[in-house]
Chains A and B, each alone.
Chain A
Amino acid sequence: MDDDVSNSFRRMSSRTRKVAPRMAAALASSDNRTQAAIARLEALENDYAGMEMVETNDDDEASLDDDDEGYLQKKQSKSTKRKTRQAKALENARKAPRNFLELLHEANLESLPPHVPSYLKAAVGPPSSTCRRHFCTVCGFLSNYTCVRCGMRFCSIRCQTIHDDTRCLKFVA
């Protein structure tokens, strides 16, 4: 049993790493695998096209209409501005846009005393009932079967055939 779990976990995590940005990890919805759940949320929060192309190549911010810059006081007033250490650190940090999870990690909310409300404590938490409905990834109907190779759900022999022919492991290869 233990072996089975760790095996499937390994299979899952290597698969989701490749797949998440594109999709699919999602439709495989496997129970009790936090890794998969995180990948799932990542995929759903992605800006897809935007994410992939943007981070690497861009100075594009300079491309905005110049007349919009008129009210930016920062450039002129920079020298007179009182600079705290915090502000400097912030300025450095701002050079590289980061994602929310990095900022969250940095904020170290775990260290707050237990009675202080925080982003972490506001999370709704797991559902009280553990029964979960599964939907077929081919047709969307309720499904009772899981593909042994890739973990996606299907509902019938017909949908399994379609899955095997066209989708199974497609996003991994």
Chain B
Amino acid sequence: MSNVIVLDNGGGFIKAGHGGERDPVTVIPNCLYRPLSSKKFLHPSPTASASTEDLTSAAVRRPIDRGYLINPDLQRDIWSHLFTSLLHITPSNYSLLLTEPPFTLPSIQRATDELVFEDFGFKSLFITDSPKLVHLYEASKRPDGLISKAQCSLVVDCGFSFTHAAPVFQNFTLNYGVKRIDLGGKALTNYLKELVSYRSVNVMDESFLMDDVKEKLCFVSLDIARDLQVARKRGKDNVLRCVYVLPDGITHTKGFVKDPDEAKRYLTMTGADSPSLETIKGIDRPELSEKLEDRRRIDLTKNEFELTNERFLVPEMIFHPADLGMNQAGLAECIVRAVNSCHPVLHPVLYESIILTGGSTLFPRFSERLEMELRPLVPDEYQVKITTQEDPILGVWRGGSLLASSPDFEAMCVTKSEYEELGSARCRKRFFH
């Protein structure tokens, strides 16, 4: 087994394992939580395990704020648990490949280096940004493809804390071209909490639960006006309506989608579909809608809630933050601005090699919608081609694993003794150019 630990230290999840392997050993939430029944903060179980922990109304502490490591003490606790109980390693025998977001402040870099070398005593360290790793991984998958041949791509990383459009050229992230939207999966979950709390049940304290609701039920609309119409309809014609059942703490400690088939009905709507016929049917049957109003009222007392337009209004935020009163451009414009910050020679190649990564790109129809919005903003003579990753959550880690197994990896690292001699700031210079 390799002696490199690859650690993708995300704001939402930590992905960690051994360099050279296809998948990480473990994926854990990067937080501690305190269940209602406890006075202590606990380590959450890895995401893949069939845990029975009751996360209802649990308080959460995260070492990462807006994407950046702001609480090294808390991060140390979480890493300590990770290395000891999940990876079963002794850090002093290993090198570490660690991800860090673009534009990390020097004070945060110092604190990170101190954690790695002084608290855990790793042998050596290599710090890298995620876009570069995603690029490396996709290039390696298709050695004859454009991304590999041109050594160039535009990585769109829609993560937990924020969204970046980052041009990568000759395997380096062009930091002057990186553009950021201050929205990611966490903000989307919080927005969903607000909508549901405001309209049906108070779920403001249910981050874990609402993450599940978001992942299972939200999707990206290809036609907002049409979908808002459909979401208003009564009865069977409303293919967007679905019900989520809240945990009752007795028979089930996790929530679930009441009728998974019902929840998938929105897939019958295509981008070009006209809803007009159905709309008329819905309006023409007032007696049916009366009955449904009744049912809806009863259901509210049964610890469940209904979702309709919330399902697509939540991901809509990434495409149009301005709708929510946030003065930021949406994803398509963000990409255009990132491309325009680069040399014009690169523009056509960048538009033709867009790679989507990060958990928030998993919403159904994300890439179709992005292409729809992007096409009119890109000069006609350029092609727009969007590649989705096989696993957008693990994409960064897999790129890291690949890099860690390359023959010159050790030479790129800063060793513990170099750190002790030179200090953080001078060691850092080596990682970027």
Contact = CB atoms under 8 A, between A and B. Distances in A.
A70 B68 contact: no
Contact of A90 (B62, B110, B119, B198): B110
Interface in A45-80: 45-50, 53-54, 58, 60-61, 63-65, 67-74, 77
B197 A45 contact: no
Contacts of B330: 127
A149 interface: no
Nearest to A81: B118
B324 A61 contact: no
A72 B103 contact: no
Contact of A49 (B57, B180, B232): B57
Contacts of B180: 119, 122-124
A167 interface: yes
B372 to A, nearest CB: 16
18 contacts: A27-B194, A41-B326, A44-B190, A47-B59, A49-B60, A60-B40, A64-B41, A86-B110, A90-B110, A97-B74, A107-B107, A117-B176, A128-B329, A128-B333, A135-B313, A137-B198, A138-B199, A140-B195
B187 A141 contact: no
B228 interface: yes
Interface centre among B85, B119, B231, B326 (most CB of A within 10 A): B326
Contacts of B121: 71, 73
Nearest to B84: A68
B65 A133 contact: no
Contacts of B39: 60, 63
B286 interface: no
Interface of A: 22-24, 26-31, 34, 36-37, 40-41, 43-50, 53-54, 58, 60-61, 63-65, 67-74, 77, 81-82, 84, 86-87, 90, 93-94, 97-101, 103-104, 106-107, 117-119, 122-128, 132-135, 137-142, 167
Across the A-B interface, give the 9 residue pairs with the lowest CB-CB distance, nearest first.
A29-B325, A50-B60, A44-B187, A140-B309, A119-B103, A63-B40, A100-B65, A127-B329, A49-B205
A47 B207 contact: yes
Nearest to B77: A64
Given A72-B120, A74-B118, A26 B333 contact: no
Contacts of B43: 64
B420 interface: yes
Contacts of B67: 100
A64 B33 CA distance: 12
Contact of A117 (B41, B61, B175, B323): B175
Nearest to A50: B60
B329 A125 contact: yes
B103 A122 contact: yes
B81 interface: yes
A124 B164 CA distance: 9
Contacts of B194: 23-24, 26-27, 43
B191 A44 contact: yes
A84 B423 contact: yes
A49 B58 contact: yes
A53 B324 CA distance: 28
Given A64-B41, A90-B110, 11 more contacts: A31-B325, A44-B186, A103-B107, A107-B107, A118-B103, A123-B179, A123-B180, A132-B322, A132-B323, A135-B323, A139-B309
B107 A141 contact: no
Contact of B62 (A22, A34, A50, A58): A50
A141 B327 contact: no
Given A53-B59, A125-B337, A141 B309 contact: yes
